[in-house]
Structure 1
Amino acid sequence: MIAQTANSTASEFPQINPDICIVNYYTNSGKLGLHQDKDESESSLTKGLPFISISIGDTTEFMFGDTRDQDQATKINLESGDVLILGGESRLLFHDISHVKTNTTPTWLKKATGLRPGCINLTFMQY
């Protein structure tokens, strides 16, 4: 599985056997406010088990930080095919999708799939 392969390359995080996958589709006007993913079991959270996020489609602006203060959050671009892993001490960082950058899906991907504008995000976790 792609999530386990990604997790195995990040040796500083405990390995997971994902049993949850959250699928989000962000249109070009889509966004998700700063939040923490913490609906997993107490054991999973205490161990700092990572979640693994895979982006497909348009580039998104991803923000993360120690608080819900957007002015203090760090921004990075997640492009199609990027994998983000938050685990260990970073597991409970606040994070969000603040902006979807239109027309940034790789041409080959659009041609091969007919993917609509926007971004699909797959987030894998272990409950």
Structure 2
Amino acid sequence: MVNYYNDVGKLGLHQDKDESRRSISQGLPIVSVSIGDTAEFLFGNTRDKDRATKINLESGDVLILGGRSRLLFHGVSHVKLNTAPTWLKEETGLRPGCVNLTFRLY
């Protein structure tokens, strides 16, 4: 799956649980790759964004939710524009924002 977040883009806290029962019960991972501007990523055991842990996912970061973390609530609160590596913007013409590539087994 490919998601693009611009300067107003966000994704509320949610669980990825649309996959097959087998995939979820085995804790098969979700692998996420961030490209472009830095995104503030939230995660936790509830949908409460005020109690969520916040980390910055920078261009090139890979996040894996698997095993016991497979059903964590997670989301994107905002994107920090103009934080992408200069070479990436120059070489690709990537517009401001964050592209997220998500891989999972359905």
TM-score range, shorter chain: over 0.9
Unaligned runs of 5+ in 1: 1-21
Which residue identity does 2:49 align to in structure 1?
Answer: Q
TM-score, structure 2 as length reference: 0.99
Residue number in structure 2 paired with 1:70:
49
**Cα deviation code 1:61-104 (max 9, x no counterpart):** 00000000111100000000000000000000000000100100
Provide runs of 4+ in structure 1 moved above 3 Å.
none
Which residue identity does 1:56 align to in structure 2?
Answer: I
Match of 2:72 among 81, 93, 108: 93
TM-score, structure 1 as length reference: 0.83
Unaligned runs of 5+ in 2: none
Q: Take 1:75 and 1:27, find their aligned partners in 2: how far apart are those partners?
A: 19
Pick the structure with more helix per residue.
1
- The question of 1:24 aligning with 2:3 is answered yes
Measure how far apart 1:28 and its partner are. Answer: 1.2
SS in 1 for 2:41: strand
Match of 1:44 among 15, 20, 23: 23
SS in 2 for 1:123: strand
Q: Take 2:41 and 2:65, find their aligned partners in 1: how far apart are those partners?
A: 13
Which residue identity does 2:89 align to in structure 1?
Answer: K
- Give the aligned length: 106
SS in 1 for 2:50: helix
Q: CA RMSD in A?
A: 0.4
